[in-house]
Amino acid sequence: MHQLKVETTTANQIHYEYTDYEPVYIYENKDYVWLTFSDDPLCEVAIQGVMSKAKPEQVHLPVNQSMLLFLLTPASYTRILNMGLGTAGVERTLRYIERNPLYLNSIQQFDTVEINSGVINAAKKYFKLPSNHTVYQQCAEQFIGQCTSSYDVINIDIFNGNHHLAFIKDDYFWQGINNCLEENGQVVINLNPNTDQDLQMLLELLRSYFTCIALIEFNEYRNIVLILSHFSLKHITVEAIHGSNLIQVIAPNLHNNIKTIYHIE
């Protein structure tokens, strides 16, 4: 996927949309379509998501792949909330494997929250967002504050530029998350902390809401993915990821891109 950074050029750009939030840039080569939020030549390219034209059911960036690790063990995840649409990888993949009851029962409720209209438009036009999928164009903080549903899985992948939003550090937000989460549910969050101290402070906050945390570090990415639950997550290991037939299909080579998985229980 690093080659795509080199190919993020004007010649490969197929779409641009200015929005009230971040501008949306879409690029394409013969194999992939991908999304960025900047074309500044003085800044390192940050690819937000990638879709394979041949296998759109796959997720390719390791950080994005890890957002699907709640699928590591078969379970009845029938109510799912995804905050941060990106390139609709979570939506495409879950709808694809929903047809295989060995891995995922029929989804009763699947909602996505995305504040950027440009991202929603691009997901529909370029990234095969399922036509019947529900997307709320709304701030994630506001959605959680008004939430009346209860979810088995809540994915949080929301940033302002390269930084997560300030409300991620607020008690009020996590109280709302807990209120919207089934007792045996999981929360998966993509983070890019500025400092080790920022991460430590957030972990201390999260420990007051969740008894079990899995922390995933990557070989070539600064991002950290946290998986949060009220029940043990020690089944989430690199070996288990490598041995999962499903994960190998939808998130190829993820096990090779993980540096370490820490468990806090």
Give the pLDDT confidence of 105-140 residue by residue, as tens digits. 778 999 999 999 999 999 999 999 998 899 999 999
Domain extents in the chain = 2-52, 62-264
62-264: CATH architecture: 3-Layer(aba) Sandwich (3.40)
**Distance between CA atoms of residues 172 and 151, nearest Å:** 18
State pTM to two decimals.
0.93
Model confidence pLDDT, tens digit, residues 150-207: 999 999 998 755 566 788 889 999 999 999 999 999 999 999 888 899 999 999 999 9
Quick one: tokens of 194?
């500025």
